[in-house]
Amino acid sequence: MVNRIDWTGTRPAKASKRGIWGWMLFDWAAQPFFTVVTTFIFGPYFVSRLTEDPVSAQTLWSNTATISSIIIAVLSPILGSIADQSGARKPWIGAFAVVKIASLFGLWCAAPGSPVIYPMIFMILASIAAEFSIVFNDSMMPRLVDRTDVGKLSNTAWGLGYLGGMIVLIAVVALLAGSPESGKTILGIDPLFGLDPHTGEDARITGPISGVWYLIFILPMFFFTPDAKRGLPFVAAVRSGLGEVRNTLGELKQRRGIFRFLIARMIYQDGVNGLLILGGAFAAGMFGWATIEIGIYGIILNVVAIFGCLIAGRLDARMGSKTTVIVSLTMLLIATAGIVSTGPGFTLFGLVALPTADTGSLFGTAAEKAYIGYGLLIGLAFGPVQASSRSYLARSVSLDEAGRYFGIYALSGRATSFMATLIFSIVTYMTDSSRFGMATLVLFLAGGLIILIRTPYPADRA
């Protein structure tokens, strides 16, 4: 029987306010990649403008995410265990930062009509580096604050990340993204740096911008946030870490609560990842939204997400991570069902008819407004379901096993995430409808929720 963890009320490490803020700024630094590159700007550009066939492009974009997910799922537990053996996390984060930043700069070359293989490779490398860095950063969290405060810390950091992503998104939409018709930004000015919207430069620039942003704002974490002491040398850490992976997987048979939580999270995170990767591209394909519309939609969601994380931080502190995740998943289920039930002239699968008239303004049809309404629920729940899942695990493991269990945690978030994008691709291809593909995400969100309801909290109680 595995001994239960008893660290209630203890402070595992003394971290200064600067150290805590340095750690939270990692989310601020990392989020623009997911916001402006993966979801709202470059992803939709890849689908709608890089090739002449949006349906095939959507499948390629989904396949890119699938490849990334498989690699992340296989290697994350190994790297997490190596981190526990080698001790210090910062050198790993620094190494992966080099890969991520270089790959993001490579996206500038993704001009319309150019070979899609290169941006696919750069996206795969950037995604892998980003996720591996998150494994090491997350495993630092339990050392910074008391166990009772990790939920508030996690949600605050996630909200800070959304704020950073929103600022970059606003800058792109207001100053860099020009209308294909007029060439002007939403402010009525020429795009900065002479960017040409007709060649996709306003979307392609999001890669280098996200790379520079990441480089600047991870520095406080390196300077101020305390790291674990150095452990084994690299080769010995790798050898020992590989052994720890086997031990950890075997140990999960005894730690049934943690095992159940990881299974639940594996399933519902597939749905969450699917919404992140495919949501913006789905809207672009349905309504023909260009960079400006997608960008404003993303800004709306990010504003709501910031408040969602702040509210969830208080809810997590008072009612616990499990309740926060359950509430968030329920909201995501409602929102996803609403999105796939909406089309030109209708919502709720045709039970509610909508006017088809287009006012000519942004989001000029009633269906677009309904889509945004469902998107607000996603914005409120998207951050908390991930941030409180992170604190759920942090409350359930000890400090010396945080690296390997956050590696398994990353595995649970990616082990079958290729299934969500793969099933989307298959269903979209077979039906020639991305709406049916998006509908499959409901299965992942609902399945994970059902298992989570029966999982103990904290998970080490079983």
To the question of pTM greater than 0.95 for the whole model, the response is no
Q: Is 347 helix (H, G, I), strand (E, B) or coil?
A: strand
Q: CB atoms < 10 A from the CB of 14, how many?
A: 9
Could you report the per-residue pLDDT of 238-286, keeping only the tens digit for each?
666 666 767 777 777 788 888 888 889 888 988 887 787 677 677 777 7
Tell how strand 352-353 and strand 346-347 pair up. Answer: antiparallel
Per the model's pLDDT, the better-predicted residue between 428 and 239 turns out to be 428
Report the C-alpha gap between 460 and 462 in whole angstroms: 6
Mean pLDDT throughout 9-30?
Answer: 78
Q: Are 115 and 59 in contact (CB under 8 A)?
A: no
Within a domain: 200: yes
Q: Minimal CA–CA distance to 157: which of 15, 304, 30?
A: 30
Q: Is the pLDDT of residue 237 over 90?
A: no
Q: pLDDT value at position 86?
A: 67
- Sorted by sequence, the CB contacts under 8 Å of residue 246 that are 6+ apart come out as none
Q: pLDDT value at position 121?
A: 95
- Beta-strand runs (E) in 311-399: 346-347, 352-353
Q: pLDDT value at position 4?
A: 37
Full domain range(s) for residue 349? 17-225+235-461
Q: pLDDT value at position 8?
A: 39
Within a domain: 52: yes
Q: Are 67 and 124 in contact (CB under 8 A)?
A: yes
Confidence of residue 26 (pLDDT cuts 50, 70, 90): very high
Mean pLDDT throughout 41-45?
Answer: 84
Q: pLDDT value at position 29?
A: 96
Q: Are 131 and 414 in contact (CB under 8 A)?
A: yes
Long-range contact pairs involving 334-337 (C-beta distance under 8 Å, separation at least 24): 334/374, 334/377, 335/374, 335/375, 335/377, 335/378, 335/381, 336/271, 336/275, 336/374, 336/378, 336/438, 336/441, 336/442, 336/445, 337/442
Return the H-helix or E-strand segment holding 62: helix 54-86
Percent of the chain with pLDDT over 90: 19
Mean pLDDT throughout 162-191?
Answer: 79
Q: pLDDT value at position 50?
A: 77
Per the model's pLDDT, the better-predicted residue between 45 and 286 turns out to be 45
How many structural domains compose the chain?
1
Q: pLDDT value at position 328?
A: 92
Confidence of residue 203 (pLDDT cuts 50, 70, 90): confident
Q: pLDDT value at position 7?
A: 39
Per the model's pLDDT, the better-predicted residue between 271 and 192 turns out to be 271
Confidence of residue 195 (pLDDT cuts 50, 70, 90): confident
Q: pLDDT value at position 210?
A: 96
Mean pLDDT throughout 394-416?
Answer: 73
Mean pLDDT throughout 126-152?
Answer: 84
Domain CATH for 425: 1.20.1250.20
Cis preceding-peptide flag for 44 (omega within 30 of 0): no
Q: Is the pLDDT of residue 10 over 60?
A: no
Of 74-83, 211-220, 434-443, give the range with the top mean pLDDT.
211-220
Q: pLDDT value at position 460?
A: 66
Confidence of residue 3 (pLDDT cuts 50, 70, 90): very low
Of 141-145, 152-156, 363-367, 396-400, give the range with the top mean pLDDT.
152-156
Mean pLDDT throughout 359-381?
Answer: 78
Q: Is the pLDDT of residue 370 over 60?
A: yes
Confidence of residue 398 (pLDDT cuts 50, 70, 90): confident
Q: Is the pLDDT of residue 433 over 50?
A: yes
Identify the bridge partners of residue 346 per DSSP, sorted by sequence position. Answer: 343, 353
Q: What is the chain's mean pLDDT, rounded? A: 80
Per the model's pLDDT, the better-predicted residue between 65 and 97 turns out to be 97
Mean pLDDT throughout 425-438?
Answer: 79
Q: pLDDT value at position 439?
A: 83
Q: pLDDT value at position 128?
A: 93
Q: Is the pLDDT of residue 387 over 90?
A: no
Q: Minimal CA–CA distance to 135: which of 432, 390, 317?
A: 390
Within a domain: 311: yes
Q: Minimal CA–CA distance to 441: which of 280, 333, 286?
A: 333
Q: Is 343 helix (H, G, I), strand (E, B) or coil?
A: strand
Within a domain: 265: yes
**Residue appearing with tokens 């066939």:** 53
Within a domain: 1: no
Q: Is the pLDDT of residue 9 over 50?
A: no
Identity at 188, one-letter amino acid code:
G
Within a domain: 205: yes
Within a domain: 142: yes
Q: pLDDT value at position 393?
A: 84
* Token pair recorded at residue 332: 């995501």
Q: Are 261 and 392 in contact (CB under 8 A)?
A: yes
Q: Is the pLDDT of residue 134 over 70?
A: yes
Q: pLDDT value at position 364?
A: 61
Q: pLDDT value at position 30?
A: 95
Within a domain: 5: no
